[in-house]
Structure 1
Amino acid sequence: MKTIQTLIRASLCAAASLTLAGCLTSTPHWDETFGSSVSQLKEMQTLNPNAGMNTDPVAGVDGSTAHAIQKNYAKSFTTPPPPINVFAVGLPVSN
């Protein structure tokens, strides 16, 4: 008889705990800081935040050279260089 009363009390306590746990909320704190870590990391990785305001053109590479560089860069993905035999690196080449 005593065991049944103990089980009933334990189940009532468990039910009351689960009911009260449903009323507890911590999302307002989470919602107000949502996305702040991403914004902070983005700001930390930005070298010059006002770079978009600079209207001075970049000097140093003319158009035809830049076009050839970009073409070679794109071509490097379509036809990758042949693999290097790593076992032969550093060994003298015999003809």
Structure 2
Amino acid sequence: MFIKSTTLALTLLLATGCSHVTPNYDARFGDAVRDAKKKMTINPDAGKDGNPVMGMDGRAARESMLQYQESYKKPPPAVNVINIGGEIGGGAK
């Protein structure tokens, strides 16, 4: 009798682990992320507008892209920040 009741208790205990206890949380899962995305979008209908974006012409855009790509080919010169505004020897001679 003791073994049957223990087995029954253990079976019931394990079965409770399979039950779903958070229906209220799961129903609203992801709402905060969707709400934050909506708040960060300036114009949600921007993709429906067929007008081109006004700003740079083609030549200016091409030159800025070339300058951007060239900036990665040679690094900027190193700046010595240790002696800014002073001399090595301590000043006046």
Amino acid at match of 1:48: N
Distance 1:54 1:88 in 2: 55
TM-score by length of 2: 0.58
User: In 2, Cα distance between the equivalents of 1:78 and 1:35?
Assistant: 43
> Is 1:79–2:74 an aligned residue pair?
yes
- What is the deviation of 1:78? 3.9
Q: Does 1:45 align with 2:28?
A: no
Structure 2: segments with no counterpart, 5+ residues: 1-5, 88-93
Quote the sequence identity (%). 35
Task: Compute the displacement of 1:72 (Å).
Answer: 1.5
Task: Give the alignment's TM-score, normalised by structure 1.
Answer: 0.57
Shift of 1:45: 0.9
Q: 2: distance between equivalents of 1:76 and 1:47? A: 31
Summarize the Cα distance change of 1:20–1:57 in structure 2 as closer, same or farther, 3 Å threshold.
Answer: closer
Deviation at 1:69, TM superposition (A): 0.4
Q: Which runs of 5+ in 1 are unaligned?
A: 1-11
Secondary structure of 2:82's partner? Answer: helix
Aligned residues between the structures: 82
Q: What is the CA-CA distance between 1:18 and the residue it aligns to?
A: 4.3
State the Cα deviation string for residues 17-59 of structure 1 (Å, max 9, x = none): 9446425423433432232222111111111112222222233
More helix by share: 1
